[in-house]
Amino acid sequence: MRLAPREPDRTHVLTLGMDMSGYRWTINGEVYGEHEPLPIGRGERVRLRFENRTMMFHPMHLHGHTFQVNTGSGTGARKDTGARKDTVIVLPMQALEVDVEADNPGQWLLHCHNLYHGESGMMTVLSYVD
């Protein structure tokens, strides 16, 4: 079932990168364990904007939720690709946005499903806050 059209309550930009000083895949310049959780609130519509700054593809996977791929831009320009998903491929040097309905409180892992990227740090947490 598609998400009802609605503007996001908050947007998180997730810059996907690699630390050249070592084999460390990053989100917003940090590896898992050194990261800041991404706050969300129950009932919010949250837009996640993935910005891939690497030459590799990253299948980004969210636990505990599904999301709708957003291919539009600007107010009222939302277009989606149909089915809700929990994983989306972010192509090299491209950006992609997804909308999440915050309806499952908890601490939820968001990571690259290229396991060697995730194990090398490309993970973060969506963290419900009051």
What is the CATH classification number for the domain harbouring 110? 2.60.40.420
CA atoms of 58 and 16, how far apart (whole Å): 8
Is the pLDDT assigned to residue 24 strictly greater than 70?
yes
Amino acid 46 reads V
Whether 85 is covered by a domain: the verdict is yes
Whether 2 is covered by a domain: the verdict is no
Residues 6 or more apart in contact with residue 73 via CB below 8 angstroms: none
Whether 99 is covered by a domain: the verdict is yes
Residue 22 has which token pair?
A: 């070592």
Structural domain boundaries, residue 43: 10-128
Q: How confident is the model at residue 21 (pLDDT cuts 50, 70, 90)?
A: confident
Whether 67 is covered by a domain: the verdict is yes
Tell me if 14 sits within 8 A of 28, measured CB to CB. Answer: yes
CA atoms of 44 and 14, how far apart (whole Å): 18
Whether 104 is covered by a domain: the verdict is yes
Indicate the range of 20-34, 44-58, 59-73, 113-127 predicted with least confidence. 59-73
Look at the chain and report how many structural domains it folds into.
1
The percentage of the chain sitting over the pLDDT mark of 90, rounded to a whole number, equals 79
How far is it between the farthest Cα atoms of the chain?
A: 44
The percentage of the chain sitting over the pLDDT mark of 70, rounded to a whole number, equals 91
pLDDT at 20: 80
Span 41-86, pLDDT tens digits: 999 999 999 999 999 999 999 999 999 998 655 444 455 566 789 9
